[in-house]
Amino acid sequence: MKFIESFTIALRSLFANKLRSSLTMLGIIIGVSAVIAIMAGGRGMENYVTSTLEDMGTDILYVTPSNPNAPGAAAMAPGYATATLTLDDAEAIARIPSVLGVAPTNENFVELTFGDETLASVIEGTTPEFKDLGYDIASGQFITERNVASRDMVAVLGSETAKKLFSDEDPLGQKIKINEKRFTVVGVLSSKGGAMFGFSLDEIVAVPITTYQTRLFPQRTPGGEDAVQSIGVIVSGPEAMDNVTADIETTLRNRHRIDEDEKDDFTIVSMEQMIGAFSDITGVVSIFLAAIASIGLLVASIGIMNIMLVSVTERTREIGIRKAVGAKRRDILLQFLLEAATLSLIGGGAGIAFGWALSLVISIIATLAGFPLQATLSPLHVIIAVGVSVFIGLASGIYPAMRAARLNPIDALHYE
């Protein structure tokens, strides 16, 4: 009963000073809103990246060049990696048991031109197996083995690329320029959705890898062969991943004449590893940003402590009267703690609502900008936000509450 009575008195006191209470809660509202929006947006980003990578296929390994002399992650950085993979390496990997197909790929940024339309795009120099990495043909055909063997000047457009260049016109058979070189459009891919590194997976153009190597972006290995930037390996199933990875490592080490005591000049990464790495990155970034936003909560706690100290001073006579009629120190302590906790709890609840609304607005803006992001607020985030709000209230109110509880009744009654 004493708890309910103290809670009622706390509410009555807060409502008696509506403007002051509202301004005090504003700090909590802003701080919690920022944290909630960042955490919900970060979770949405993590889900988006994970779903995009999963759509590309989870039974896929990617083999890329690396520099064995570079430290750690720098071995895979563009400035460190040396061209070491070739089409012959891809053909050797294709002969490994449990490998259903390989898609050697070279990638770069290009400028596409059709009539007066100009479009920045990502070009994929690849082979017929590229479409097995999660693409379907909407019209026409994909690159053929004959196109690769003959180094044909043909191109297959992503759905968004075709739409932006040709609008409602049929692109099949049309001539486009890729970095001022003329190509014939032979096919259009179905919409895949998703984006990576700011580019939509539908805003691409695919050409035969041999054409890419000889006529667009020539690059050689130290041995003088045409280089391949990556090799996508389609595996028969998750259970075969480890064996195929080991076989690829053995095959490439033998082909590249790497001694037992030397490091690999290539890296093998599974889609599961990529998903895990991106999830870790987005998680760390979200936590870092939330920690920065939490500084606002610290400022809010100082505001609560300040206003509670003012409240104790203003209500000194009230405290003296309550003690004179039998209120104990713990009753006074509980009353002021409840006032501080109620302030922060109401502010935290409002902050959660505003933060969720803000994350939804950000999601809508991002989607309209062509970057579909669905903010996600987990129950854990709500529980943490409520818990932190109450803790801030209690921590900020404990000193003013103890100060009020220690007041001498006689001095309090004579206070003016």
324, 330, 333, 338 alpha-carbon torsion, rounded to 10°: -110
Higher-pLDDT residue of 50 and 269 is 269
Band (pLDDT 50/70/90 cuts) for residue 105 is very high
pLDDT of residue 391: 79
> Which run of H or E residues covers position 357?
helix 329-368
Tens of pLDDT, residues 213-257: 999 999 888 888 889 999 989 888 878 888 999 999 999 999 988
Write down the pTM of the prediction: 0.62
Mean pLDDT across the chain: 80
Mean pLDDT of 291-304: 75
> Which run of H or E residues covers position 205?
strand 204-208
pLDDT of residue 332: 76
CA atoms within 13 A on the CB side of 266: 30
Torsions phi, psi of 97, nearest 5? -60, 145
With a pLDDT cut of 90, the percent of the chain lying above it is 26
Provide the token pair at 59: 């039974």
Band (pLDDT 50/70/90 cuts) for residue 74 is very low
- State yes or no: pLDDT of 327 exceeds 60: yes
Torsions phi, psi of 292, nearest 5? -65, -45
pLDDT of residue 157: 95
pLDDT of residue 173: 92
Q: How far apart are alpha carbons 104 and 126 in whole angstroms? A: 6
CB neighbour list of residue 18: distance below 8 Å, 6 or more residues apart? none
Tens of pLDDT, residues 306-316: 777 777 776 67
CA angle, 106 as apex, 102 and 109 as ends, to 5°?
145
- State yes or no: pLDDT of 277 exceeds 70: yes
pLDDT of residue 394: 75
Is 18 buried (19+), middle (13-18) or exposed (0-12) by CB count in 10 A? exposed
Q: How far apart are alpha carbons 325 and 323 in whole angstroms? A: 5
Provide the token pair at 96: 């490994």
Q: Are 43 and 377 contacting, i.e. CB atoms less than 8 angstroms apart?
A: yes
Rounded to 10 deg, the angle between the 295-314 and 329-368 helix axes is 150
Provide the token pair at 1: 């009963």
- State yes or no: pLDDT of 14 exceeds 90: no
pLDDT of residue 7: 66
Higher-pLDDT residue of 204 and 381 is 204
Higher-pLDDT residue of 48 and 170 is 170
Q: How far apart are alpha carbons 4 and 15 in whole angstroms? A: 16
Is 378 buried (19+), middle (13-18) or exposed (0-12) by CB count in 10 A? exposed
pLDDT of residue 246: 92
- State yes or no: pLDDT of 94 exceeds 50: yes
Higher-pLDDT residue of 247 and 40 is 247
- State yes or no: pLDDT of 6 exceeds 50: yes
